[in-house]
Amino acid sequence: MATNPRRRLAAALAVAGALGLGACENLDDNTRDRALTGAAVGAAGGAAVGLLTGRPIGKAVQGAGVGAAGGFIYDQVKKAR
């Protein structure tokens, strides 16, 4: 029996999302909010690029990762001031 690649992708995204949200549990409110906002903006940007170039889901996942990292770094810079 062959596995449906879309079903596998959906399962992988669900697991990755759950792990990503679980990682935010110990962060303070500002850090969590900035990281999640960055992830949302990155995912939207990645999906938009993906619609133009192909593979919107993959680009959205990449954008979310980059956006979350950017939001976290931005938060750390703001706290250091």
Q: How far is CA 58 from the centre of its chain?
A: 11
DSSP 48: H
Domain range for residue 29?
5-80
- pTM score, whole prediction: 0.64
Contact between residue 65 and residue 38 where contact means Cβ atoms under 8 Å apart: no
* Number of structural domains found in the chain: 1
Cα separations (Å) of 20 from 42, 47, 53? 14, 18, 26
Q: Residues 8-64: pLDDT tens digits?
A: 666 666 666 655 555 555 557 788 888 888 888 888 888 888 888 888 888 888 888
